[in-house]
Amino acid sequence: MIVFPNAKINIGLNITERRPDGYHNLETVFYPIKINDVLEVIEADELIFDYSGLDIPGDDADNLCIKGYHLLKKDFPKLPAVKIHLHKNIPIGAGLGGGSSDAAFFIKLMNEKFGLGLSVDAMMDYARVLGADCAFFIESKPVFAFDKGDEFEAIKLDLTAYQIVLVMPDAHVSTAEAYRGVKPAPVKESLYDLIKTPIANWKRHIKNDFEGHIFRDNPIIRGVKAELYEHGALYASMSGSGASVFGIFESTPDLSAMEEYNQIFYNV
């Protein structure tokens, strides 16, 4: 069975407090985008993981798909061994949730392939164990997210009339380090209300709390956001903890001048 885990962007990200468990409470809007990995699972005699495409740092044993397999196996001891092949296409260290998406799609695939009978809520509970972003990808629909970023309220947000462009500069940001550099603060205007206002309003009001210190340390990323506004973006922002930056445009911009130094995904 083959599935196509998609990436997400964060439209707005307010980090409101540090939690006793070391994580942070936040509010954000997750919006799914059309950049995808390819994930194939077939039954096998032993558990095997291999991958192609982009280089994934770290050991294969730590891949979130393998972690997902062990998590399910604890509750479903009769689960057969599988061979997992991942074609990695979603940029890593990008704030696009690629690893989390692979894990969530792996859980959904295993549920369907082996008839585990898990509800959406049950799959989200498994996903939460693997990462804060992971539960979103079980349904992968636009949501307002809160708590650790793993509790959701569905929202009506349809950006299909616009062109979303995603720019990946030559920079990578570690999520844990990004959180260490941020000073949590209560929100003045909730994103839940702001996201319902016209896009023309977003530039002045919807912010990503990571941008302050990440932009200070990485002028390249700051520069990408500025360039997207220079090319006419209605709204531009770093996604999650970076390093990718997206722009929402009325029509496809000519970003050829940026292509030498960045990977650009049009119409995501």
Ligand X SMILES: C[C@](O)(CO)[C@H](O)COP(=O)(O)OP(=O)(O)OC[C@H]1O[C@@H](n2ccc(N)nc2=O)[C@H](O)[C@@H]1O
Q: Cite the active site residues.
A: 8, 133
At closest approach, how far in Å is the CB of 206 from ligand ATP?
Answer: 18
The per-residue DSSP string of 134-152 comes to TTHHHH---EEEETTTTEE
Across-strand partners of 167? 245, 264
Shortest distance, position 186 Cβ to ligand X, whole Å: 16
**Residues of this chain, 184-213, that bind ligand ATP according to CB under 6 A:** none
Q: CB 129 → ligand X: shortest distance, Å? A: 10
Closest separation between CB of residue 177 and ligand X, Å?
9
Tokens at 126, concatenated: 């498994």
The 6-18 sheet, strands edge to edge = 6-18, 24-36, 143-146, 151-154
Question: Considering only 17-25, 95-103, 206-214, 222-230, which stretch makes contact with ligand ATP by CB under 6 A?
Answer: 95-103
219 has binding-site annotation: no
Which of the ranges 59-67, 113-121, 144-152, 201-209 carries the binding residues for ligand ATP, by CB under 6 A? 59-67
Residue nearest to ligand ATP according to CB distances in the complex: 99
> Is residue 68 a contact point for ligand ATP (CB under 6 A)?
no
Question: Counting every residue, how long is the chain?
Answer: 268
Sign of the alpha-carbon torsion through 129, 172, 106, 60: negative
**CB 215 within 8 Å of CB 222:** yes
Q: What separation in angstroms does the CA of 13 have from each of 45, 150, 247? A: 44, 13, 16
Binding partner at 111 among ligand X, ligand ATP, none, C-beta below 5 to 8 Å by kind: none
Beta bridge partners of 41: 84
Residue list, annotated binding site for ATP = 91-101
- Mark the binding-site residues, compressed into ranges: 91-101
Give me the residues that bind ligand ATP (CB under 6 A), please. Answer: 56-58, 62-65, 86, 88, 92-100, 102, 133, 175, 240-241
